Structure formats: structure tokens, C-alpha cells
Chains A and B, each alone.
Chain A
């Protein structure tokens, strides 16, 4: 049964960095603690999760921006997650068929199929995926596929106290997002913009963002692309190389046809 495409709209301007989404995600998906549960500080940021990986499917990124002399500064917070791309790099290259597109137009890695080859990790333009050591498979946000099937809201969106993370049909979320950008522009936050809401970016990100600076400031690629963009040229040069090597072999090794075979 096919549903309307569902997803997240994350408004980073109202994120307070409470990490309720991280906790809710971990609890619902029964993800293990990092470092065996010991508190390990990152040492150079107030954020100690650091990044998305196989056991962190939501991560509140802290971007601590300061001027050179530290008299001026601001904190940007962004609850990062899998972008559930409409044209998904991970799904494209996965050699086992473990990565699928669901009836909600989300991207899910089937834990019983993945064998941990890690090609999807290298393919994802957002650095979202990693191995979960507990399962030995590549894992990431499933957009709470199990909860969606039961008609529930994903755990992170439900836990978010400021509605920074909003869940719903993509069509409705885009309307809300555009209205919010207009509102911010009126309030003078001219840098506010949407990231991944239009189809230019990988067919559209089903988890898209409102950000208040350049994408790079948030650790987001400006122009994320599919890995297969390189396939033709790379294969072409290799094929030409193969022909050159075969020819080189012929010229270098040729003596005369073997007597025994004549």
C-alpha cells in the first residue's frame, strides 16, 4: 500500500540543543550507549555525541561560532538525521539490496539483509550511515518505520519540546517551512533559508531543514550528488587503460606462436 510521502521538517532556529530527540531515538530503537556507557567528553565542544553513526541516528549538532577575539559569538543547533533522499546514494549502490524505499517514501536499511560491506557509508553525501557494532550491519534513522506502520509519530518528533522537528506529509511540511522562512525574513533574519526542500537536491530531501547560515556552516554539502555520476568516466578511462595494457602485453611478450600448438 502506497502512502503520501512522509518526512521531517527540522527548523534549526528553534532548536535549543536539549537532545531529547537523541534520547528518544536511542530508547525507541534500543540503540546501545557509546563507550560502554562511560561518560567520555569530546573536549573541544559542549556536544559529546559528536556525529551521526550506527548507534546515533539523531544527533544535535552544536556549531559554536565565535569571532577571532571571542567578544562576539553564537551557537547554532541542528538536530541532524538521515535525509531520506528521494534519489538516495546509499540505496543506489547497496550491493545486497538491503536498502529499500518504503511505502512512506523513506529509506530503510534491512538489518537482516545487510552484511556490513560499508559501501553505503562511503556513498552517503551527508555522512549519515555507519556500522552498529551490536548488529555488525550498517544502520541509520529508519524514520521510525515501525511506528509509522502503526500510525504513530517518529520518536524524535514526538519528544521535541520546541517543535524544531516536525513530522508529516512532505507537501504540508513544505508549506509550513516556506511560511516560516517568510516570517524570519520579516523579522530580519535574512540568512534563513531552506535546505533540501526543492527537487534540485537529489530529487528532494524527505528530511529537509531550515538553516540560518550557509550549508557549510552546518557541515552540510552545498551540492550533494549521486556517486554514479562518476561511473561512466571512470569506467571509460579504465577500459581504455585495459586496452593499452593488453596491447602493451602483446607487443612486449610476443615471440612466435608456440610450436606445440601449430
Chain B
């Protein structure tokens, strides 16, 4: 069996900052979508969960930006992604997922921030003076909130999925060999976001059983989609699949059994298991990204060496 062409490439050394960003960004984007859906189609009792989701999204967007910046060897040049440093013109390449992603994250951050501030005004009211200013109060108007929820959801979904597309638009083993990484990360973002909201809602007593059950129902659907996407991903790898037959495969099996199948079974077994199931989903989501990124990083066949013929 010949060595796949992708093996003659070098690892970009994306490690834990990027893995964490993929994880946190996915949760942020997913939580915004869930909050927006509850905002439009939920009950008044769900309002506190809606606000919690917007907080997670706003915080997650900020953490995402920070993670991406500290990952750069030249963090002071982070703005070169958005502005051409030589000309001052905007920097944008529609065909480069990283370029599109930077703008997507920036715009998502803007709407997540606005939604979070709107939620804060609702939550704490006029206790803090800046929250009573007219431009801030606008954020509590129904029409404005609707608009923020719709646009932010679009960018939230984008943020949750583009990271997988970014990995595929390279020449690296595993990443460039499957068109399903974007779908996989998107489904995982949805399941981890629902798990986050379930945990926050239970711990902070923000929701009744009905709201949590609906979130859990969504989580089960997202986990099923994630499992399907993972199977499609594995099936599309071709000869590179062999790389996953070692320890990486063991870790991936842990992701599937502990992070997807076990939570599905636990959630079916009873409501008291929900926090445990949600925690497993989160650990599985993080581990999934770690396996996808780190396993590819170990592969390279570009150096000198002895060959037997």
C-alpha cells in the first residue's frame, strides 16, 4: 500500500490552545443558538436559561479570541488577520476558512456581547448605572433582541462548524482526507452546548424539569448526529484509517463509548443521571477534538531515512 500524499506534509503544531478554542468556540456558538431558539419558541419560565446561554456565548467568544491570540507566536500581530498591515485595507479571503473564520468569530462576538449585555440588563435591572443608559436599554426591546438572536444564531452555527472545514482545507493526514470534519465538529458543538446549558441550569437552579428535559432531548438528537458524523468521517478516511488502529483508536473508542453512547444510555435511564451524562458529553467533546488534532500531528514522512526495498 503506497503512503498517502498527505503524509509528505508537516504538522502545524496546533495543540491545546487550538483544541480548547475549537471546544469553547463550539460551546459558545451552540449555546447562542439554543438560547435564541428558547427565546423565540420557549416559555416565559425558560427566560433564565435563555440569559444563561447568552452569557456562556458572550464569555465563550471572548475566551475564543484570547485563545487564538495567545496561540500565535507573534500575538501582537493578531490584527493582521483583519487588516492588511501594509495598506490598511480590510483583509479577507472568501476561500480561506481561517480568514472567513476570523471575521465570523468577530461578528459572532459582537452579537454574543450584545445579547449578553441585554441579558444582564434583564437580570440585574437598574442596579448598575451604565445599564440604564439609553443605548443599553435598547437591547431589551423585543425587536432588537429578535434581530440579535437571528443574526447571532447564524454566526453561532458558523463558528461551531467552520473549524472542521478549516482542518479539511489543508493537506494534512486525516483532516484533508474527509469532507465530514465540519459536520462532526458542528454536531459535537451542539451536544456540548446543550450539555453546558443543562449543567448550568441544574447547578444554578435556572429551569424547571420541563426545560431541562427539552434540552436533554436536543442533546440526544445532537449526540446521534455526532455518532453518524463520526462514522462517516472514519469511513471516508481511506488508507489513513490505519493510523487510528493504535492508541489514537483506543482514545476514539473512549470518546464514542464514554462521550456519546454512555450519555445516551444514562439520559434514558433517568433524570437524576443528567448531570453525569452532561459531564461525560463535555469530556467526550474535548477529547474528540484532541484526538482529531493530535493524531494528525504525529504523522509526517518528509525527512531523510533508511528504506528497505
Contacts and interface: CB of A to CB of B under 8 A. Distances in A.
A57 to B, nearest CB: 13
Contact of A238 (B9, B37, B162): B162
Interface in A70-124: 89, 92-98, 112-119, 121-124
B169 A231 contact: yes
Contacts of A259: 43-44
Interface in B148-204: 153, 157-158, 160-162, 164-172, 175-176, 179-183, 186-187, 190
Contact of A249 (B34, B72, B180, B301): B34
A240 B308 CA distance: 47
Interface stretch (A20-28, A45-53, A162-170, A171-179): A45-53
A51 to B, nearest CB: 4
B295 interface: no
Contacts of A227: 169-171, 176
Interface string B91-127: 1010111110010000000000000000000000000
B28 interface: no
A237 to B, nearest CB: 5
B218 A235 contact: no
A129 B10 contact: yes
Contacts of A233: 179
B239 to A, nearest CB: 13
Interface string B14-46: 100000000000000000011001111111101
Contact of A230 (B11, B96, B169, B217): B169
A186 interface: no
Given A119-B12, A231-B169, A257 B41 contact: yes
B192 to A, nearest CB: 12
Contacts of B96: 92-95, 119
B286 interface: no
A124 B125 CA distance: 53
A246 B157 contact: yes
Interface stretch (A29-37, A60-68, A189-197, A203-211): A60-68
B225 A244 contact: yes
A212 B222 CA distance: 52
Nearest to B153: A246
A62 B167 CA distance: 31
Interface stretch (A1-9, A146-154, A217-225): A217-225
A119 B9 CA distance: 12
B98 A93 contact: yes
Given A126-B9, A241-B182, A231 B95 contact: yes
B37 A249 contact: yes
A50 B41 CA distance: 60
Secondary structure at the B interface, as helix, strand, loop or mixed, is helix
B304 A62 contact: yes
Contacts of A246: 33, 37, 153, 157
B178 to A, nearest CB: 8
A152 B170 CA distance: 35
Interface stretch (B57-65, B80-88, B244-252, B268-276): B80-88
Contact of B187 (A50, A119, A245, A257): A245
Contacts of A118: 12-14
Interface residues of B, number: 87
Contacts of A50: 303-304
B259 to A, nearest CB: 18
A148 B75 CA distance: 32
B221 interface: yes
B3 interface: yes
A38 interface: no
B73 interface: yes
B171 A225 contact: yes
A237 B183 contact: yes
A134 B162 CA distance: 32
A72 B214 CA distance: 70
A44 B169 contact: no
Contact of A260 (B44, B73, B162, B229): B44
Contacts of B309: 65-67
A161 to B, nearest CB: 20
A244 B222 CA distance: 9
A115 B74 contact: yes
B77 interface: yes
Given A61-B304, A252-B218, A92 B10 contact: no
Interface in B203-250: 210, 214-215, 217-218, 221-222, 225, 229
Which 7 A-B pairs give the minimum distances between C-beta atoms? A238-B182, A136-B73, A116-B73, A115-B77, A221-B5, A252-B218, A127-B10
Given A216-B3, A245-B187, 8 more contacts: A65-B309, A94-B93, A112-B85, A119-B166, A122-B9, A231-B169, A234-B169, A258-B43
14 contacts: A51-B300, A61-B304, A62-B304, A65-B306, A66-B309, A118-B12, A127-B8, A127-B300, A237-B182, A242-B158, A245-B187, A249-B37, A254-B41, A255-B210
Interface of B: 2-3, 5-6, 8-14, 33-34, 37-44, 46-47, 72-75, 77-78, 80-81, 84-86, 91, 93, 95-99, 102, 142, 153, 157-158, 160-162, 164-172, 175-176, 179-183, 186-187, 190, 210, 214-215, 217-218, 221-222, 225, 229, 300-309
